[in-house]
Every structure is written in C-alpha cells, then in structure tokens.
Amino acid sequence: MIPLLLFASALSVEDFGALDQAIDKCDRGAVTPTFASDQSRRSAFMTAAYAEEAAIVGARADLRARQALLRAGKPMAGDNDRALANASAALDDRQKSLDDQRTLEALRVEAIDVKRRYYLAKCASGKD
C-alpha cells in the first residue's frame, strides 16, 4: 500500500492559517513557494493514487480468481470461505482509505485554488 496520506496531509490546518495570514499581508515571499510547488505535488499524488488503485484492481481480480477456484472445489492452499472473506474485507478497507485520501486531496486542491485566486485578486496591484 502506498502511503498517500503523506501527500494529502502535506499542508496542515495550521499551514493553511499561515498561508491565509501571508495572503492577507500580500507577502509574496511566503505565498509563492506554496503555489509554485503545488502542480508538482498534485502530479505526484495522482501518480501514487493511480498506482494504488491499479494495485487494488489487480488484487480484486486475484481474489475473484481464488473465489472461483474455491467454488469449483479446487482452492489454492490456505483458501477457504473465511480467508477469502477476510481478504475481501481488507481490500474494501484499502479502497475506503484511498477514497478518503482522494477526498482530502480534492479539498486541499480546492483550498489552494481558492487561496491562489484570492491572493491574485487582493495583491495583483503590488500595493497593500
């Protein structure tokens, strides 16, 4: 499992507060690094999220194959109804975790975009 939460939590609530303060002061030196690094961060998150989703899809396909073998009476070593139910539940948990991380990242992206627009509207004249 890829630690996507590291990407999603890169900016904390406190970081957003500091960014808001820098925007209020039109502090370009404090604001620019956050906005400048955002596209790279978004790209890295999307790559990691895609890789995790692909791994989950592969694991689900493997699980379905194992379930088919069990139904056919030719289970793989160690496979039984309980083992496959546990494997399915683990995949569901993994998917929910990824979905939660995507939601958090979408909110972070929206917040950064709103803050960027606000900064540009408030500070575009270079005065303030």
List the domain boundaries for the chain: 5-123
Q: Which two tokens stand for residue 114?
A: 């709103």
Hey, what amino acid is at 96?
K
* Confidence at 14, pLDDT banded by 50, 70, 90: confident
Q: Tell me which residue of 67, 80, 10, 69 sits closest to 42, measured CA to CA.
A: 10
Q: Tell me which residue of 115, 95, 125 sits closest to 30, measured CA to CA.
A: 115
> pLDDT tens, 86-106?
999 999 999 999 999 999 999
Return the SS3 of 123.
Answer: helix
What is the model's pTM?
A: 0.80
